[in-house]
Amino acid sequence: MVSAIVFTPLFAALILLMLPPEDEEGARRLAFGASLLTFVISLGLLAKFESGTADFQFVERFAWITDFGIQYHVGVDGISLFLVLLTTFLMPLVLLASWDDVHKHVKEYLFFFLLLETGMVGTFVALDMFLFYVFWEVMLIPMYFLIGVWGGPRRIYAAIKFLLYTMVGSLLMLVAILYLAYQYNAQHQTVTFDLLRLYDLKLSLIEQKWLFAAFALSFAIKVPLFPFHTWLPDAHVEAPTGGSVILAGVLLKMGTYGFVRFAIPLFPEAAHAAVPIIMALAVIGIVYGALVAMVQPDLKKLVAYSSVSHLGFVVLGLFAFNVQGVEGAVYQMLNHGLSTGALFLLVGVIYERRHTRLISEYGGLWKQVPLYASIFMVVMLSSIGLPGLNGFVGEFLILLGTFRANPLAAILAVSGVVLGAVYMLWMYQRVIFGPITNEENAKLVDLSRREVMIFVPLLAMMLFMGLYPRPLLTRMEKSVEATLARVNVLRQASPEQSRRAQHEQLPNSIGATHASPLQTAPKLIAER
Amino acid sequence: MEHAHATLPTVVHTVSYLRFIVLFPLLGVLFNIFLGQRLGRRAVNYVAPGMVLLSFLLAFVAFLRLPADGILVDVVWPWITSGSFQVDFALRLDPLSATMVLVVTGVGFLIHVYSAGYMAHDEDVARYFAYLNLFTTAMLLLVLGANLLLLFVGWEGVGLCSYLLIGFWYTDDEKASAGKKAFIVNRIGDAGFLLGLFLLFWSLGEKGVWTLSFSEIQAHASALSVNTVTAICLLLFVGATGKSAQIPLYVWLPDAMAGPTPVSALIHAATMVTAGVYLIARLHFLYSLSATALAVVAIVGTATALFAASIALVQTDIKKVLAYSTVSQLGYMFLGLGVGAYSAGVFHLMTHAFFKALLFLGAGSVIHGMSDEQDIRKMGGLKDKMPITWGTFLVACLAIAGFPGFSGFFSKDLILEEAFVSEHGSWLLWLAGTIGAGMTAFYMFRLLFVTFYGKTRASHDVAHHIHESPVSMTCPLVVLAVLAFVGGYFSLLRFLSPIFGEPHEAPVPFFIKQLPTLAGLSGIGLAYQMYVRDPGMAERLAQQFSGLHQLLANKYYVDEIYDAIIVQPVVAASNWLWQVWDTLVIDGTVNGTAHTMEANGLLLRLWQTGNVQNYALSFLVGAIVILGYYIW
């Protein structure tokens, strides 16, 4: 089933190439249909997923390049499950959104999108390091072309900047992957790239640090973590709407996913050593991204910088190394995919009509396009983490987890919650409220039926994830705990276990029977 | 009078109808959004208030069925579960939340009815009622939430509705800005709230208790160290100063008067702004553990009460006077809480909801009759043309001024007595509160006299149109006037005793008991002298003390100071970060290194040409600096 999700888009992409070039409508239908089919198949994953285990499910595995022990090995757990779903969910919406938007080389545009989907899903499900790397690189090419061909005026600059930043990171990562396989061979006399086996590799601290650094740099660029973020605003501004949505909605998650799947569990001690630096960068990113977003004159740049801020939260949660922080981070990845994806779609809607993204060009839109304004309002509130909508659950859990790991970081990060409201509300006011000052805006037409169809599923998910997060959180829980167990924080120190200990030793004096997680965690690391 | 140790209402009765109290207004929201435009004004005017009425009736039934020995709890669904963190979507009715629910739905219903008349000429009435119903939903969630997180959900929800309703007439940029300001200032408070919540959760967790539910917090609060409790209480109080407009976060409330007047009555007088008071009353068992936290609450409350009252003395916009008055009265409630007289604080919350809602609705009636004029200098002589508005306004003024027999007399006097005799009190707090009481009476009667007495100062056109408001508006005025009078006779203290403990009388010295009333009467007398008997006197005084008058009229320039020391620097810093740091330093390093290398021909030997490689290499250099620090 997993392979079907990975390769359906690729298959459709290949068929697409065989269609006659003038049949644009047919190509659109085919691509949309394929992405919809992929989504439906991925719902099967959700239906059959067992939440009681941390094991990878729907595993498919067979030898690929036997001489180097490279396998085709894919599967999902509670973390990747929802990222796959996010990808397959966003894809049809994006294709629907670019229905009237893109008229240049339609077939190629769709081809690259479908190829991109294969790359993205593959990256999330790959359990073989080499396979992962292949998918990781497969993603880059279509995105490069999507920006470089269908982008704005400075698209070449932006596309190259995007490619280079990402390539630099991924080359280092490749070296690190090869080193891992080499070490495994040295220790076990077999070559393998199997992630699950590499988890058990024994590495000295200094080795870990180097390898972690190589992975972390690659992922930090992708996230992007401050100060590796300057490719992002350029890429977003130049990318076509669909490209921005996928870039923000899914591609950025590759970085955070990479941390939680690879960098952290493979090199736990190094990850611990890096906590102060990464937390500091994350907090700086949160505040910095929000402040810079506040003064952006361009809507897309504003949303791009807000991503820097939001992804800072995700990284902060991951490096809190407790259940709440990591679950919140995974949840926030999904939230960000929905709300920032929706924000880019909304910007795309008015860009398509007015061909400008400057905030100062707008104002007073509510009067003219009330439906658009109302949907914009909900998306904005989701983005600033209003309770009842999805953003709150993730942000709250992240801050809760961070507060335990490092209260100072939480205190600083909370200011991001305030600033988030500042830049969003200010932008919204300038675009939507006030009198209509620009005559052009008086001619705007409200959302078409097709456009409404794009936003309804997004809004429905925002509400659902805000009101009833449990189905998602319970499916994540075991996998998150397993990851944390590898980082060795959870063992003996989890709240559950302390609670269990509490119950067993209830007659003893409360609180004295066990040390707090905060105190035990560093000790465990030191002992290891 | 002292409170005995609070007894725990231990028996939990599980019911499943409390959810409908919240659900009815939510149905109203959906109706207004999806059908409001189509079915038209009449349908909206019935459905929106009707849903709130249903809530009120159901709440009243629940109130009657509230057992003497326990509380009602309705667990709707498990909300967030993450490791040890488990929070249910659960509602709880006890004497405290019952009081709040009845005030919210009762006063809320009257204001919904009034709104139907007030908004009769606004084309966007469906949107208005959608927001107002949504506010009611969120406020009910706030007061009914059985745990701190659900309270926070309501807390943010009412903030959102406040934002939407202040900026309801969005085409006016100033109104939209006022809404934004309210939201952002509240968010600053919320940051404190969240941190307090985190600290509370983890501190209890260290004791093996993983909960945010009020009952369990109460059961285990004593396990926490005093310093931890103090920190938690102060952080939560930051949130309260935001929502309940206390120093230093009160600045949004006067601006919030940009919203439609019924909104000011419901949200910015009777209900939402009391959320901070409710929060502290709800968590009284924590505050009682920390004398420091209580002292801070009392001092901030008293300072705000005096500070805002002094500004109200000279304001000329009818709604601004009432806004500062609200800030000031909220200060009194915090004074009550801060001296440990929780039930007195909640008592004043209730009476204030009656008389302040009445004052705002009366002001709305005046504004309505005066063709949207809000400047009291252009009013005068309305007594005969708007007799119902005048009569009910007078009742409200007597109530807030603490005139004997009226509701405010009972609640305010109780707070001031407690401020004197309580172990957490002090004669200074009492004195400040008493001076404030005199000021309150003065500015309220100044408002009454300037608006309703003397000769009209309106232009001929406006004066010609002055009329009494329609029945849908005057009816709520009359009902609220009755409540503003009799509200003081509700035996709320006894009703709340399962929560806060039995009140037991402590002897209060005669002068301490009588002086606040005397101060109030003197305030009324002074206002009468200055604005009825000798109308020129106020003007002469303003000229004589023009410096002081300017200072008060300009609200101590606090907005200007905040702008200069916070807003402007943050914006400037952000611009600098973007244009200098992001563009020049980070991007410049990337590009610049590339160019230098190119000039030296280093790269040309390694690769062919072009930007591509330059970036890659220069980027590596930068990255290595960071990595180097980390590895060695």
Taking only the tens place, the pLDDT of each residue in A315-360 is: 999 999 999 999 999 999 999 999 999 999 999 999 988 888 899 9
Range in A39-53, A291-305, B407-421, B488-502 with the lowest mean pLDDT = B488-502
Q: Report the residue of A161, A331, A520 to disrupt the B interface, i.e. the one with the largest count of B CBs within 10 Å.
A: A161
Q: Is B375 helix (H, G, I), strand (E, B) or coil?
A: strand
Question: Is the predicted pLDDT of residue A280 greater than 90, yes or no?
Answer: yes
Interface check for B202 against chain A (CB to CB < 8 A): the answer is: yes
Residues A249 and A288 grouped into a single domain:
no
> Predicted confidence band at A434 (pLDDT cuts at 50, 70, 90)?
confident
Please give, rounded to a whole number of angstroms, the shortest distance from the CA of A64 to a CA of chain B: 32
Report yes or no: A85 and A117 within 8 Å, Cβ to Cβ.
no
- Do residue A364 and residue A427 come from a single domain? yes
Q: Which residue has the tokens 């008493």?
A: B434
Which of B33, B34, B37, B80 is the best residue to mutate to test the A interface, defined by the most A CB atoms within 10 Å of its own CB? Answer: B80
pLDDT computed for residue B610 by the predictor = 45
pLDDT computed for residue B596 by the predictor: 57
Residue A502, pLDDT > 60, answer no
As a whole number, mean pLDDT of residues B516-545 equals 88
Q: Is the same domain home to A497 and A379?
A: yes
What whole-number distance in Å separates Cα of residue B507 and Cα of residue B488? 21
My answer on whether A193 and A315 are in the same domain is no
Region A174-179 average pLDDT: 90
* Residues of chain A with C-beta less than 8 angstroms from the C-beta of B223: 510-511
Query: DSSP string covering B298-362, please?
Result: HHHHHHHHHHHHHHHTT--BHHHHHHHHHHHHHHHHHHHHHTT-HHHHHHHHHHHHHHHHHHHHH
Q: What percent of chain A has pLDDT over 90?
A: 56
Q: How far apart are CA B397 and CA B442, in angstroms?
A: 10
A211: pLDDT strictly greater than 80: yes
Helix (H) or strand (E) holding A60, with range, is: strand A57-65
SS3 A522: helix
Q: Write down which residue in A202, A236, A269 finishes a domain.
A: A269
* Chain B residues 593-622 with a CB less than 8 Å from chain A: 611-612, 615-616, 619-620
Count how many residues are written for chain A: 528
Mutation target vs B (from A79, A166, A168, A323; most B CBs, 10 A cutoff) = A168
Same domain, A292 and A437: yes
Distance between B83 CA and the closest CA of chain A, angstroms: 6
Q: CA B41, CA B595: separation in Å to the nearest integer? A: 68
Q: Is A470 on the interface with B (CB under 8 A)?
A: yes
**Does B190 touch chain A if contact means CB atoms closer than 8 Å?**
yes
Same domain membership, residue A306 and residue A220? no
- Kindly list the distances between the CA atom of residue B235 and the CA atoms of A392, A405, B287, B297, B333, in Å, as whole numbers in the listed order: 20, 19, 12, 11, 19
Q: Which pLDDT does position A515 carry in this prediction? A: 38
**Residue B526 CA from chain centroid, whole number:** 30
User: How far is A476 from A474, CA to CA, in rounded Å?
Assistant: 5
pLDDT of residue B376: 87
CB spacing of A429 vs B188 below 8 angstroms: no
* CB neighbour list of residue A472: distance below 8 Å, 6 or more residues apart: A82, A331, A334, A465
Last residue in a domain, options A202, A235, A269: A269
Which of B84, B198, B570 is facing A499, going by the closest CB pair? B84
User: Which range is least confidently modeled, A381-385, A459-463, B7-11, B380-384?
Assistant: B7-11
CA distance A460 to A467: 11
User: Residue A324 in contact with residue A401, Cβ under 8 Å?
Assistant: yes
Boundary of a domain, candidates A269, A287, A303: A269
- Which two tokens mark A166? 């990402």
- Provide the pLDDT for residue A105: 84
Weakest-pLDDT range from A133-142, A269-278, A496-505, B448-457 = A496-505
Condensed to tens digits (0 to 9), the pLDDT of residues A122-139 reads 999 999 999 999 999 888
| Chain-chain contact of B586 with A230 (C-beta, under 8 angstroms) | yes
The answer on A303 and A196 residing in a single domain is: no
Residues 22-51 of chain A whose Cβ lies under 8 A from any Cβ of chain B: none
pLDDT over 90 at B111, yes or no: yes
The alpha-carbon radius of gyration of chain A (Å, integer) is: 23
DSSP state string for B180-217: HHHHHHHHHHHHHHHHHHHHHHHHHHHTT----BHHHH
Q: Are B287 and B293 in contact (CB under 8 A)?
A: yes
Higher pLDDT, B628 or A71: A71
Per-residue tokens: A83 = 């990222």
Q: Say whether B84 and A495 touch across the interface (CB within 8 A).
A: yes
Instruction: Give dist(CA A9, CA A33) in Å, integer.
Output: 10
Find chain B residues with C-beta within 8 A of A433's C-beta: 167, 170-171, 173, 176
Distance from CA of A414 to the nearest CA of B (A): 6
CA separation, residue A338 to residues A312, B169, B293, B488 (Å): 17, 30, 41, 52
User: To probe the interface with B, which of A429, A437, A452, A496 has the most B CB atoms within 10 Å?
Assistant: A429
Lowest pLDDT segment from A61-70, B132-141, B470-479:
A61-70
Confidence band of B207 (pLDDT split at 50, 70, 90): confident
Cβ B630–A277 below 8 Å, yes or no? yes
Chain B from 514 to 573: CB within 8 A of any A CB: 570-571, 573
Specify whether the CB–CB gap between A155 and A148 falls below 8 A: yes
Q: How many CB pairs under 8 A join A and B?
A: 188
A507 touching chain B per CB within 8 A: no
The answer, yes or no, to whether residue A272 has pLDDT greater than 60, is yes
Question: What is the torsion angle, in degrees rounded to the nearest 10, for the CA atoms of residue B343, residue B349, residue B352 and residue B353?
Answer: -130
In Å, how far is A495's CA from the nearest CA of chain B?
Answer: 6
A5 to chain B nearest CA, in Å?
29
CA dihedral A472, A474, A475, A481 (to 10 degrees): 120
Average pLDDT over residues B260-269: 90
User: Which pLDDT belongs to residue B370?
Assistant: 85
Are A323 and A374 in the same domain? yes
- Return the axis-axis angle of helices A407-432 and B173-206, rounded to nearest 10°: 160
Q: What is the pLDDT of residue B122?
A: 84
Angle at A350 between CA A349 and CA A353, to 5 degrees: 100
Cβ distance A400 to B85 less than 8 Å, yes or no, reads yes
Q: Which residues pair with B81 in a beta bridge?
A: B86
Report helix, strand or coil for B477.
helix
Q: Are residues A170 and A297 in the same domain?
A: no
Strands B503-504 and B2-3, by their bridges, are: antiparallel
| pLDDT classification of A441: cutoffs 50, 70, 90 | confident
Q: Which residues of A touch B575 (CB under 8 A)?
A: 295
Burial of B533 (0-12, 13-18, 19+ CB in 10 A): exposed
Are A213 and A263 found together in one domain?
yes
Asked if pLDDT for residue A520 goes beyond 50, the answer is no
How large is the average pLDDT for residues B374-386? 87
Nearest partner of B400 among B262, B468, B305, B314, judged by Cα: B305
pLDDT (0 to 100) of residue B11: 82
Cis peptide before A224 (omega within 30 of 0): yes
Q: Are residues A419 and A456 in the same domain?
A: yes
pLDDT reported for residue A488: 65
- Tens digit of each residue's pLDDT (9 = 90 or more) over B295-336: 999 999 999 999 999 999 999 999 999 999 999 999 999 999
Within its chain, how far is the Cα of B48 from the centroid? 23
Query: Under an 8 A CB cutoff, do B83 and A327 touch?
Result: yes
Lowest average pLDDT, out of A11-25, A63-77, B151-165, B597-611, goes to B597-611
- Residue B167: its chain A contacts at CB < 8 A? 429, 433
Bridge partners, A70 (sequence order) = A65
Which residues of A are less than 8 Å from B624 in CB distance?
A: none
Q: Among B310, B388, B324, B391, which Cα is nearest to B356's? A: B324
Query: B191 CB near a chain A CB, below 8 Å?
Result: yes
pLDDT bracket for residue B631 (50, 70, 90): low
Which residues span the domain enclosing A202? 1-269
CB spacing of B571 vs A294 below 8 angstroms: yes
CA proximity to A392, closest of A478, A481, A310:
A310
Mean of pLDDT values over B73-93 = 89
Q: Radius of gyration over alpha carbons of chain B, in Å?
A: 27
In A400-459, the residues whose Cβ lies within 8 Å of chain B are 400, 403-404, 407, 410-411, 414-415, 417-418, 421-422, 425-426, 429, 432-435
Query: How many domains, chain A?
Result: 2
Among candidates B183, B611, B631 on the partner chain, residue whose Cβ is nearest the Cβ of A213: B631
Coil, helix or strand at residue B70: strand
The counts of H helices and E strands in chain A are 23, 2
Cross-chain Cβ contact B616/A495 below 8 Å: no
Tokens at B421, concatenated: 């005799």
Burial class (CB in 10 A: 0-12, 13-18, 19+), B112: buried
Q: At what angle do helices B125-144 and B148-166 cross, to 10 degrees?
A: 160
Asked if the Cβ–Cβ distance from A396 to B194 is below 8 Å, we say yes
Residue B590's CB: how many other CB atoms inside 10 A?
Answer: 21
Q: In which band, very low, low, confident or very high, does the pLDDT at A496 lie, cut at 50, 70 and 90?
A: very low
The whole-chain average pLDDT of chain B stands at 87
Rounded distance, CA B26 to CA A293, Å? 34
**Predicted pLDDT at B599:** 52
Question: Residue B274: what pLDDT?
Answer: 94
Q: What is the DSSP letter of A510?
A: T
Indicate whether A99 and A145 sit together in one domain: yes
Which of helix, strand or coil describes residue B334?
A: helix
B173 to chain A: nearest residue by CA? A434
Put simply, whether B219 touches A (Cβ < 8 Å) is no
Interface test with B, best of A221, A226, A423, A470 (most B CBs within 10 A): A470
What is the Cα–Cα distance from A376 to A356, expressed in whole angstroms? 17
